[in-house]
């Protein structure tokens, strides 16, 4: 993984602690959702690190400040991949509350060559003018991520990042092969996929654990 320069693993102790709690099979849906929210907020801090700043003049209670900094120009859009990405939206919005939110629904058919079919898409009308951060709990095979980024690029977006809690070399390589310009921000890189195409050791089925389904 060291040769993939545009993969950022958030190694902050709080992120790593919360990812461990997330993995635990005894963590219930309520706690799971809270952890995803918190991890997403920390990772969004890293994902927005390069937003440009400009200097402005303001008046503080004690005087004038001529070189205070605010974000300049670049607006943000979050695009969660349903279902897993939905759990990350509130955490990301807690950090960037003015961001717009699009949605992409992807159905991954494991029985048919592991293909991805989109069944829903609603994106901000001005997405071409925004920095887009695609959200999903896991980047496993990469099929859903690649399909979603295809859709977002077709809509005109040029500045795109992908943010997930967990990934593995299979997913990273697939996404970079299709979209080498897309930076990946993650909480951990696991060893690989099992025969059912789940990340191992992973967290199991993230969507089911988020929403209490089987």
SS3 150: helix
The enclosing domain of 37 has a CATH number of: 3.40.50.2020
Computed over its alpha carbons, how large is the radius of gyration of the chain?
Answer: 18
Q: What is the mean pLDDT of residues 124-140?
A: 96
- Domain assignment present for residue 115? The answer is yes
- Domain assignment present for residue 184? The answer is yes
How high is the pLDDT of residue 2?
45
| 13 vs 25: CA distance, rounded Å | 21
For residue range 21-54, what is the model confidence (pLDDT) as tens digits? 999 999 999 999 999 999 999 999 999 998 888 9
- Domain assignment present for residue 1? The answer is no
* pLDDT above 90 as % of the chain: 82
The helix or strand, by DSSP H or E, that contains position 60, with its residue range, turns out to be: strand 53-60
Residue-averaged pLDDT of the chain:
92
- Domain assignment present for residue 138? The answer is yes
Q: Give all strands (DSSP E) within 74-189, no chain letters.
A: 75-82, 100-101, 103-109, 115-122, 130-139, 159-167, 183-189
- Domain assignment present for residue 2? The answer is no
Q: Give me the number of domains the chain comprises.
A: 1
pLDDT of residue 73 exceeding 80, the answer is no
Which of 59, 65, 108 lies closest to 206 in space, CA to CA?
108
Q: What is the mean pLDDT of residues 187-210?
A: 93
For residue range 79-108, what is the model confidence (pLDDT) as tens digits? 999 989 999 999 999 999 999 999 999 987
SS3 59: strand
How high is the pLDDT of residue 123?
98
What is the domain range of residue 99? 7-211
The DSSP bridge partners found for residue 7 are 184
- Domain assignment present for residue 43? The answer is yes
- Domain assignment present for residue 87? The answer is yes
Distances (CA, A) of 194 to 83, 86, 118, 204: 21, 24, 24, 11
How high is the pLDDT of residue 70?
87
pLDDT of residue 74 exceeding 60, the answer is yes
Q: Are strands 192-193 and 183-189 parallel, antiparallel or unpaired?
A: unpaired
For residue range 133-192, what is the model confidence (pLDDT) as tens digits? 999 999 999 999 999 999 999 999 999 999 999 999 999 999 999 999 999 999 999 999
- Domain assignment present for residue 96? The answer is yes
Which of 6, 10, 3 lies closest to 166 in space, CA to CA?
10
Contacts of 76 (CB under 8 A, 6+ apart): 48, 51, 96, 98, 99, 100, 130, 131, 132, 133
Q: What is the mean pLDDT of residues 190-209?
A: 93
């Amino acid at each position: 993984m060291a040769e993939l320069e545009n993969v950022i693993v958030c190694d902050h102790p709080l992120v790593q602690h919360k990812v461990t709690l997330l993995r635990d099979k005894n963590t219930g849906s309520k706690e799971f959702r809270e952890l995803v929210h918190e991890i997403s907020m920390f990772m969004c801090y890293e994902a927005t690190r390069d937003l440009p700043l400009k200097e402005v003049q303001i008046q503080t209670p004690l005087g004038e400040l001529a070189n205070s900094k605010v974000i300049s120009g670049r607006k943000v859009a979050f695009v969660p991949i349903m279902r897993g990405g939905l759990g990350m939206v509130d955490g990301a919005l807690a950090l960037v509350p003015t961001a717009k939110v699009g949605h992409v629904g992807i159905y991954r058919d494991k029985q048919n060559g592991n293909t991805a079919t989109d069944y829903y898409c609603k994106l901000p009308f001005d997405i071409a003018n925004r920095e887009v951060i695609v959200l999903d709990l896991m980047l496993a095979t990469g099929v859903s991520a690649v399909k979603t980024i295809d859709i977002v690029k077709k809509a005109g977006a040029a500045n795109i990042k992908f943010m997930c809690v967990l990934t593995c070399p299979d997913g990273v390589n697939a996404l970079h092969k299709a979209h080498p310009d897309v930076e990946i921000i993650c909480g951990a890189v696991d060893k690989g996929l099992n025969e059912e195409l789940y990340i191992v050791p992973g967290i199991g089925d993230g969507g089911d654990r988020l929403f209490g389904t089987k």
